[in-house]
């Protein structure tokens, strides 16, 4: 079992959907640790709770194999390879940050990140915003964020609103020094409240850490988590390393993943009843709309702060042509676009 999850930890590129597909092949088809029906029910459960879905799926499969000990072994085997890779890259990045070529390469990845977030937003919007009332709620959510409502408050407002609908139917910011305890606390809150796509994490990072680091460093940390195997949530490791060195990376990682371990340990024994509770399903509908709003916020703010030069717009145009005209994988574009941007840098 451990060897299988370590292999996934080193090879699981492509985001949560790809991770879950690879996990299904290993757990259901090859090893037959659980049935396809159980796997689908487990996926439904992870959509009901906060945290990284693919990691929670791994935890759930581990529980099927060997209870709580299996859950812990599966989770650590899957996450540690990615965490280690991100930690090493982030530590080198801190020492290389003054090198112009490093930022040029990372700037080349930004248009690809915009395209990937745009595609996720399009898919989520098309499948989750269908009715006129859902479109109105989406617009209201965007307005609430523009007026300063936090991500957590937005999720709670929409979840409670939909729960109320179901039953009816039948802040001053003070900049303070960052510490390892604060890093742990902020990421613990994120891990315990973040719903939806891993790209929603970028919105949470901007809100929580923009007082302590630049938006470019936040995007760089997210990119490190994106280009490495395993869960995108390992971006937390990179942020922790940027702010507090290796110790900061460790406490950030512990903070963001600890809620998933605890929640899955508590819920796996009662998962059958959880997925059948109607008001929880209604809460999830509200949370899904709020998550789409948060993805839209990320797409808008990232575009506004990165697409500010002719070179950036040209690079975005090249990325769009390669992605949709030549059907090149976004993960191949993460290699090609930095090279193209570096050539532009040498020419200019």
> What is the percent of the chain with per-residue pLDDT over 90, rounded to a whole number?
34
List pLDDT tens digits, range 176-228. 568 899 999 999 999 988 876 677 888 889 888 988 998 889 988 988 988 88
What's the pLDDT at 171?
Answer: 45
Q: Is the pLDDT of residue 31 over 60?
A: yes
Average pLDDT of the chain to the nearest whole number = 85
Q: What is the span of the domain harbouring residue 250?
A: 2-170+177-347
Q: Is the pLDDT of residue 100 over 90?
A: no
Distance CA 184, CA 240 (A): 9
What's the pLDDT at 168?
Answer: 62
**Average pLDDT, integer, range 288-307:** 83
The total domain count for the chain is 1
Measured on CA atoms in the order 137, 140, 145, 148, is the torsion positive or negative?
Answer: negative
Contacting residues for 328 by C-beta, under 8 A, at least 6 apart? 322, 336
CB 209 within 8 A of CB 243: yes
Confidence of residue 339 (pLDDT cuts 50, 70, 90): very high
Contacting residues for 136 by C-beta, under 8 A, at least 6 apart? none
DSSP state of 178: -
What's the pLDDT at 269?
Answer: 87
Confidence of residue 172 (pLDDT cuts 50, 70, 90): very low
What's the pLDDT at 13?
Answer: 67
List pLDDT tens digits, range 50-69. 888 889 999 999 999 999 99
What's the pLDDT at 18?
Answer: 66
Higher model confidence: residue 172 or residue 291?
Answer: 291
Q: Is the pLDDT of residue 174 over 60?
A: no
Q: Is the pLDDT of residue 173 over 60?
A: no
Q: Is the pLDDT of residue 291 over 80?
A: no
């Amino acid at each position: 079992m451990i060897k299988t999850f370590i292999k996934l930890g080193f090879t699981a590129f492509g985001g949560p959907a790809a991770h879950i597909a690879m996990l299904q092949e290993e757990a259901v088809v090859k090893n037959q640790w659980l049935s396809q029906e159980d796997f689908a029910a487990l996926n439904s459960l992870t959509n009901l709770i906060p945290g990284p879905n693919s990691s929670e799926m791994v935890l759930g499969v581990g529980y099927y194999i060997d209870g709580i000990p299996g859950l812990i072994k599966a989770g650590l085997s899957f996450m540690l390879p990615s965490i280690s890779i991100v930690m090493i890259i982030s530590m080198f990045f801190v020492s290389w940050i003054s090198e112009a070529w490093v930022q040029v390469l990372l700037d080349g990845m930004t248009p690809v990140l915009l395209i990937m977030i745009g595609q996720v937003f399009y898919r989520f919007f098309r499948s989750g915003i269908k009715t006129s009332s859902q479109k109105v709620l989406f617009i209201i959510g965007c307005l609430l964020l523009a007026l300063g409502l936090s991500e957590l408050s937005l999720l709670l407002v929409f979840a409670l609103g939909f729960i109320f609908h179901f039953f009816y139917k039948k802040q001053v910011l003070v900049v303070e020094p960052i510490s390892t305890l604060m890093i742990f606390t902020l990421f613990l809150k994120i891990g315990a409240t973040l719903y939806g796509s891993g790209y929603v994490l970028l919105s949470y990072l901007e809100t929580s850490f923009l007082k302590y680091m630049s938006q470019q460093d936040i995007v760089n940390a997210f990119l490190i988590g994106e280009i490495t195997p395993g869960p995108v949530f390992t971006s937390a490791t990179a942020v922790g390393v940027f702010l507090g060195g290796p110790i900061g990376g460790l406490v950030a990682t512990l903070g963001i993943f600890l809620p998933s371990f605890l929640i899955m340990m508590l819920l796996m024994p009662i998962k059958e009843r959880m997925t059948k509770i109607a008001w929880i399903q209604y809460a999830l509908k509200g949370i899904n709309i709020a998550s789409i709003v948060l993805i839209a916020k990320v797409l808008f703010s990232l575009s506004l702060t990165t697409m500010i030069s002719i070179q950036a717009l040209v690079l975005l145009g090249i990325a769009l042509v390669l992605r949709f005209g030549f059907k090149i994988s976004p993960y191949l574009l993460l290699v090609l676009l930095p090279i193209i941007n570096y050539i532009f840098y040498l020419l200019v």
